[in-house]
Amino acid sequence: MARGRREADPRPALLSVVSLMFLLLPMLLLTTSANKLVGLELGLLGDAGALPPPPPGPVESLEVEIRVDAIVVRAGLRRADLGAGLGDVTVQEETLPGMDLVGLQGKLRAIKALDPSRERVAIAPADGVDTQAVVRVMDAARGDAEGALFEQVVLSTLETP
């Protein structure tokens, strides 16, 4: 009488895979971190021995929006913490009521103190703002009684969503 062939039991193989997962999963959880990795730029001397250009200042963007009833100063400040990546900015916005040119110059002077190398400001007039108001804001952005502020004044358009 011939004996029937029995199939191999798959349970021992499955048990070894499950036990391997129970070993690897805690190891994976203990060795990984949820913190963001940070890359640092490395600038080397060029062929002529010149130093690399200095990094740009902390102010990424600066815009003055002129509305009919207010002036809005919007500054994009680069984040300085270790977890910040390239292009991570914090936008600070302040609204000045009416045509407060002295208040505007004070805000621009504070931004200039943060980034003395910044020379450019964008002026964005809204619809209905007369040319005289735009010229007064442009003159106020160039300088005040304490000295020069932003020499390069660029006219811009408001971005509509």
Contacts (Cβ under 8 Å, ≥6 apart) of 134:
66, 123, 125, 155
Burial class from Cβ neighbours inside 10 Å (0-12, 13-18, 19+) for residue 71 reads: buried
Q: Indicate whether 151 belongs to any domain.
A: yes
Q: Indicate whether 38 belongs to any domain.
A: no
Predicted TM-score (pTM) above 0.85:
no
By residue range, what is the domain housing residue 134? 59-155
CATH number at residue 78: 3.30.420
Q: Indicate whether 39 belongs to any domain.
A: no
Q: Indicate whether 127 belongs to any domain.
A: yes
Q: Indicate whether 113 belongs to any domain.
A: yes
| Range 63-85 average pLDDT | 83
Q: For residue 77, how many other CB atoms are within 10 A of its CB?
A: 18
In whole numbers, what is the pLDDT of the chain averaged over residues? 81
pLDDT level of residue 161 (50, 70, 90 thresholds):
very low
Q: Indicate whether 143 belongs to any domain.
A: yes
Q: Indicate whether 1 belongs to any domain.
A: no
Domain count, the chain: 1
Q: Which stretch of 22-36, 99-113, 114-128 has the lowest confidence by average pLDDT?
A: 22-36
Query: How far from 112 is each of 58, 100, 135, CA to CA, in Å?
Result: 10, 18, 20
| Range 12-22 average pLDDT | 86
Q: Indicate whether 81 belongs to any domain.
A: yes
